[in-house]
A and B are shown apart, each in its own frame.
Chain A
């Protein structure tokens, strides 16, 4: 029997899925923009772009210098909440390689404190090809866990089983005349591209050409980040910028 739509509208409606699957592995996208792989107790984040504010200031745009702190605060909250045994940062963790060495002491201490009691991997990205030892963790080009490859840039191979960052996907939908544009997890069940985690990291629309060859078109889902939830939206609803 069909029910009127407003019956489904109460905030408590138990219709939201909490997990997605990448190559058969269940993962939980978190509204902060991180992905938690519960079976492996592994937390994935991408594109932190730490020290982007400072990089802009050098060019004459004196943006508020709090982006690194904001990003690390959010990361701290996520880690406190899920207590992972392993954290993997999927590249472009620093806006520029040089910034990593010049990281203010306070922020570096925060970062090192986060690493205590867990494994920490830095995958290199195009913004941070060289990372200094001062920031702790293990630096690597890619990482494979349970047959699933974690990397910065998505590989050109069709239907690769991988999780990548680099592209900063955002999804746009229109709803009752209102446009909603949010960072999102983009996945077709095989590949997943992570949203950017950094406070000043911009976004690229999921309908952009750069995504066209990465996903099986009919299976694409955008998990859009909300305040307290992540909302799965099917690809056909997405609008270009």
Chain B
């Protein structure tokens, strides 16, 4: 607290009128951080406010702007410029904030007009807002980019005083954050005197966010915004659910604990039940209702549900009509959802900060402790939950570090800038590098991006006549054709969704009575990823929107379904934890496992399991990697325990398989979970290590990130997915829009073909660099893998075993449950053919006997 107190020392003791009276009338005392922020930002200093949820953060953010507006002499309407921009990552949040803000503005009778503008705002109102803007506009990063691409931008934002960036921690380290940073730099060019205010939850590295808010002059010196830190509030009261039921070895359903979860819900007024994926939410919701003897109002909320259904659930929550909501990260951000007194986190929390933010949802008041219950779904998750709980007790944070700004986003921004009018390259370069994520961008890289936007930027320069940007006689760049601005506006934004299909309930019943194409179309239940529906055959059952549905068939972009009486879906929809285990938490987990002294903090079932492992094999030390080899069935297995998350493990699995292939171990496949990796093959890997035919130090050498990585990426569907996203954001290919015939798959196919050709002929192209940068931190997590390989150098411990070890059981159980990764498709194609041959041979043999 001492750091924040020193900050508050220079804060004013009271609010100006009429705010002081208004606070007083409600019996409120301004928080110290609200006054501090008012003092800093009110004096024109860019400021970052860090406050836990429930600290009156948003009102604090608006105080400098509201007091400034209230002080001004009333000017004759209409205004032509915006005074304050408020930006949030969620549409729903802007609407929520506008509603909350309307109350004080009305009650103090302030002459302030405030409006929202999102993708849902009708075009007529958007056009009007450009001509007659409100004082305060609440909006999203995409809308700012759109407004900046019009010629009117200079007038609209020329007198901008404040920009308030809410939930900055959620925005900053993403492509949306990059776009927002570029837009902020642009806004500063248009209105050099503006003050930026960032609002953030507690983060590991506040200086990064403080730098994000500031304009910089290239790489030379990073400037930091003022930082105001609110008091920490009461400590959270977190416990781990202890169940008498046997703890599962693997899986993510937490079904074993349904009775206890239900009991916890019954014992509280209102519970939020967080899970990591949509399908987990579905499973749990279904399970809870099967236990729901008291008929408690328990609802479901996730991003794939139909908007109308989500709004219904949200409204019921605010009105206090619900006892529990099973939800995913769609509820992670700071919307005020009423009277929650318990947060239940099912599955592993994956990161200390994520847990802290979820727990913040309970008890929206600073002075009362939040109450949370962690429900691990399997044995490893028990250990992870324990580690997260200890991290929370220390107040430790592990938000990911900011990474350099994405080049595909910059390409989009360059085109947007040209849409607003001709630009000068030198000036734009200075502006772009004043944005924190692009501070380190070299001129060469910037020029490549501009060339990419203009002509595709290919070494083979034969698109000059089709250029999108052309030089003016004064040497500036201008748009070649107004049509390009229209194209830009249709493709703006950095969110590229996986192609989705609507799930539509058929009226009437399919099956034997009527073929699916005869079923009348009924209500839309929501949307589901296309790849999930693709693997279904008509008649398969799956769980969605809280019920077991039967897939009848596809009609255009609708998946037609009917209700069934089945209680168990045929197709389990688990798609893995979406968030990888944070590096920080992984380290704590390794530490917890390594030392037997710590085990008594774990439930008996888990500590017994680790003890068994210590007897049978060894328990890995905190800095080493344990590699176990053993035979099972007709195969030989290698299991290792890096604890680096599923994505990094999958990449490791791909790369190890390639090397094992060369070493003639005849590898057949691999499977990864969050904690471990298992590779199997036909030859005895353990024996190969023992007699020196296979050198583990070499097998786990960092070298694998060279040629092998390159060769793998050439064909990796993960790289192709990254490339598709970059191709869309950068404007190389167009986004799909509702009503367009082109399906997502056709677009995937074509971006895949482009990827193949580009990689073969111009491997250094800027778009490939952008795709690699994304994949390396995201889907293939190579940086983390590299850190891991460096960490374990010289610390590999091999144990040859006669059979599977206790620690290996969870990952071994994933075999068959997890789909093998896409790159193995060659093996699968061969299998398909050979299985048919085997069947044929079998039939033949059967006939002969």
Contacts and interface: CB of A to CB of B under 8 A. Distances in A.
A157 interface: no
A237 B832 contact: yes
Interface string B282-299: 000000000000000000
A15 B535 contact: no
Interface string B31-59: 00000000000000000000000000000
B754 A63 contact: yes
Contact of A65 (B460, B484, B534): B460
A199 B755 CA distance: 10
A233 interface: yes
A23 B631 CA distance: 50
Contact of A57 (B456, B668, B830): B456
Interface string A1-28: 1111111111101011000000000000
B757 A240 contact: no
A94 interface: no
B535 A174 contact: yes
A127 interface: no
A69 B845 CA distance: 51
Contacts of B765: 64
Interface stretch (B230-238, B699-707, B742-750): B742-750
Contacts of A179: 531, 534-535
Contact of B466 (A58, A66, A175): A58
Contacts of A7: 634
Nearest to A200: B753
B732 A178 contact: no
Contacts of B818: 177
21 contacts: A2-B841, A2-B842, A10-B666, A15-B833, A60-B483, A64-B757, A70-B757, A70-B761, A174-B535, A175-B832, A176-B828, A178-B825, A179-B535, A182-B829, A200-B750, A200-B753, A200-B757, A226-B829, A229-B830, A233-B829, A241-B534
Interface of A: 1-11, 13, 15-16, 54, 57-58, 60-67, 69-70, 104, 173-182, 199-203, 224, 226-227, 229, 231-234, 237, 239-241
A61 B734 contact: yes
Contact of B732 (A4, A8, A61, A65): A61
A8 B531 contact: no
B832 A4 contact: no
A240 B762 CA distance: 34
Contacts of A201: 753
A47 to B, nearest CB: 13
A177 B757 CA distance: 28
B474 interface: no
B394 interface: no
Interface of B: 455-456, 458, 460, 462-463, 466, 468, 483-484, 487, 531, 534-535, 554, 633-635, 666, 668, 682, 715, 732-734, 743, 745-746, 749-750, 753-754, 756-758, 760-762, 765, 816, 818-822, 824-838, 841-842, 845
A13 B446 CA distance: 52
Max chain B CB contacts within 10 Å: which of A64, A182, A203? Answer: A64
A181 B752 CA distance: 12
Given A1-B845, A70-B760, A203 B749 contact: yes
B463 A65 contact: yes
A34 to B, nearest CB: 17
A202 B822 contact: no
A239 B536 CA distance: 10
Nearest to B531: A179
Given A175-B832, A200-B750, A65 B458 contact: yes
Contacts of A57: 456, 463, 466
Q: Which 3 A-B pairs have the closest CB atoms?
A: A177-B819, A62-B456, A66-B761
Given A66-B460, A104-B462, 12 more contacts: A6-B668, A57-B456, A58-B466, A66-B758, A173-B829, A174-B534, A176-B828, A178-B821, A178-B824, A179-B534, A182-B829, A234-B836
Given A11-B830, A178-B820, A61 B845 contact: no
B733 A16 contact: no
Contacts of A232: 833
Contact residues of B: prevailing secondary structure: helix
Max chain A CB contacts within 10 Å: which of B466, B554, B758, B833? Answer: B833
A9 B760 contact: no
Contacts of A61: 732-734
A176 B820 contact: yes
A84 B821 CA distance: 39
A57 B462 CA distance: 10
Nearest to A204: B746
Contact of B832 (A2, A6, A63, A233): A233
Contacts of B633: 6
Contacts of B760: 66, 70
B834 A15 contact: yes
A182 B828 CA distance: 13
Contacts of A16: 830, 833
Max chain A CB contacts within 10 Å: which of B468, B666, B832, B835? Answer: B832
Contact of A5 (B732, B743, B828, B838): B838
Contacts of B745: 241
A202 B754 CA distance: 11
Nearest to A203: B749
B837 A8 contact: yes
A64 B460 CA distance: 9
A241 B463 CA distance: 34
Contacts of A173: 829, 832
Nearest to A182: B829
Contacts of B758: 64, 66
B828 A178 contact: yes
A199 B531 contact: no
B456 A65 contact: yes
Contact of B463 (A62, A180, A237): A62
Contacts of B634: 4, 6-7
A5 to B, nearest CB: 6
A4 B682 CA distance: 14
Contact of B828 (A3, A180, A181): A180
B217 to A, nearest CB: 33
B757 A66 contact: yes
A6 B732 contact: no
